[in-house]
Structure 1
Amino acid sequence: MPVEQYVYFALSSTHMSAQEMTAVLGVEPDETSVRGSRRAAQPVRPACHRWKVVCREPGLAVDEQIDRVLDRLRPHTGRVAALARQLEEAPGEGGSAVLAVVRYFRAADDSETSAGRTDSDGYRGPDGMDVPHPPNLFGWALQRDAMEFLLATGAVLDVDEYDLTR
């Protein structure tokens, strides 16, 4: 069963823009959304501004993707924590910090290629080299240092898994 997955850490706010969050944190996000924006490719109107650091690298287990995201953020833990608290405590804000894991499970014969797979003859690893078998992406663990980061920043862990095998 092919698995596609990605991990992100996000700060959300109904009042502070992602640009303002970037200025406070001194860290460039990988993705942002603007509250109430309309885009032709994405007709959904986001309910809040969102600042995100993302790992979509195929072939990595969830815990490896979490490490990639948090490795970028750990040097800035104090600023991330302070901003997360500020967003959470602001009147009418309802800001939030989240570490999200998103996984899609597909049928083995799914015509869509799963992230990192080349075709039936092999697998292309994260370094671009062909390897004989895809890595086992099932199962993962949240390491103590990741939990400490979540605790320090007041972030929640949100795991979304989607069964697309039917």
Structure 2
Amino acid sequence: MIVSQYVYFALSSERVSAAEITGRLDIEADEIAVRGSRVASPSRPARHRWKIACRKPGLTVDEQINRIVDRLFDHAERIGELAAELDAIDGEPGASVLQVVRVFEHPDGEEEDLTSPYEGLQKLSGQHQLLGWHIDARVLQFLRLTRAELDVDEYAYG
């Protein structure tokens, strides 16, 4: 099995641009999306989006999440306040999200490592080293403070 995965934290809005979000937080985004930049009608992407991402290969999902939380935790309350404002401006919840994306059998993904034993046990096919993850109390606190939803998407390539 081959697995490709990444994680990002995003603030999004129909009306407030990623540049404005950057200005409010004084934190540069790793990635941005501009509402309607691909298709004008209907707008695609549907919302402006400010993202902090971890796309580093070889890390488990919880390690990728922790890298993002480590970068943003000191700003979590301010991010949560802005998320509440964006929800009010757009008239709906959901401005803040921690997104996990995993793609199975993606050609750019990582092969399963069957060579190194784990605690003296033989590894069997189907037990990919990147599968399985958890959310600890600090990450839960970050989600609460930032008013973030947790969204997990898993796809099969092709």
TM-score (norm 2): 0.81
Match of 2:57 in 1: 58
Mapping 1:15-164, distance limit 5 Å: 15-38=15-38, 45-90=44-89, 92=91, 96-106=95-105, 112-115=107-110, 136-164=129-157
Q: SS state of the match for residue 104, structure 1? A: strand
User: Is the Cα–Cα contact under 8 Å of residues 94 and 148 in structure 2 kept in the other structure?
Assistant: no
User: Is the Cα–Cα contact under 8 Å of residues 3 and 109 in structure 2 kept in the other structure?
Assistant: yes
- Measure the CA separation in 1 of the matches of 2:27 and 2:90: 25
Percent identity, please: 51
Match of 2:8 in 1: 8
1:102-159, CA deviations, whole angstroms, 9 ceiling, x for partnerless residues? 00111xxx7x3424x6xx9x9xxxxxxxxxxxx7101000111101111111110000
Instruction: Name the aligned partner's letter for residue 13 of structure 1.
Output: S
**Aligned-pair distance for 1:69?**
0.9
Q: SS state of the match for residue 75, structure 1? A: helix
The total of aligned residue pairs comes to 141
Q: CA RMSD in A?
A: 2.3
**Aligned-pair distance for 1:91?**
5.2
Instruction: Name the aligned partner's letter for residue 150 of structure 1.
Output: L
Q: SS state of the match for residue 79, structure 1? A: helix
- Measure the CA separation in 2 of the matches of 1:62 and 1:91: 30
Q: List gaps (5 residues or longer) in structure 1.
A: 123-134
Shift in CA distance, 2/23, structure 1 to aligned 2, threshold 3 Å: same
- Measure the CA separation in 1 of the matches of 2:16 and 2:45: 14
- Measure the CA separation in 1 of the matches of 2:34 and 2:100: 21
